[in-house]
Amino acid sequence: MESVSVYKLLTEEEWRAANTVGHAANALDRSDGYVHLSTRAQLPGTAERHFSGRGRIKLLKFDSGHLPPLRWEPSRGGDLFPHLYAPLEIARADAAWWLEPGPDGAPQLPEDI
């Protein structure tokens, strides 16, 4: 598969932990045994479903070509999501943003992603 941008959302607490250890993983990632990522098209649904009402959220953007190989596996509605079965090193991020919650509590995504 060609290189694509993939994204990771983290709460402030998860971001602080990632800065301490150098890689990002939340409780769901550790439970499932892989790092959950999203494509640009999947990002709004992931943000709303898993991060609404959780305050300010860190968004990290990665080039999949600069990561260990991803597995594209079915998830919500059979859509293929990128999963990383290795540590997600935050130093590999191409860009990062802080997202503020909108009126509905879901993180507001920037226009320039």
Query: Tens digits of per-residue pLDDT, 22-34?
Result: 999 999 999 999 9
Separation of alpha carbons 108 and 72, rounded Å: 26
Separation of alpha carbons 105 and 93, rounded Å: 26
How far does Cα 113 stand from its chain's mean position?
Answer: 13
CB 102 within 8 A of CB 91: no
82 has pLDDT over 70: yes
Separation of alpha carbons 32 and 30, rounded Å: 6
Instruction: Tell me the domain boundaries of the chain.
Output: 5-99
Report the relative pairing of strands 70-74 and 35-36 from DSSP bridges: unpaired
Q: Architecture of domain 5-99 in CATH?
A: Alpha-Beta Barrel (3.20)
Separation of alpha carbons 77 and 90, rounded Å: 29
- Average pLDDT, rounded, for the chain: 95
Confidence of residue 2 (pLDDT cuts 50, 70, 90): confident
Give the pLDDT confidence of 12-22 residue by residue, as tens digits: 999 999 999 99
112 has pLDDT over 90: no
Phi, then psi, of 63 in degrees rounded to 5: -90, 120
Confidence of residue 111 (pLDDT cuts 50, 70, 90): confident
Report the relative pairing of strands 57-63 and 95-99 from DSSP bridges: antiparallel
62 has pLDDT over 80: yes
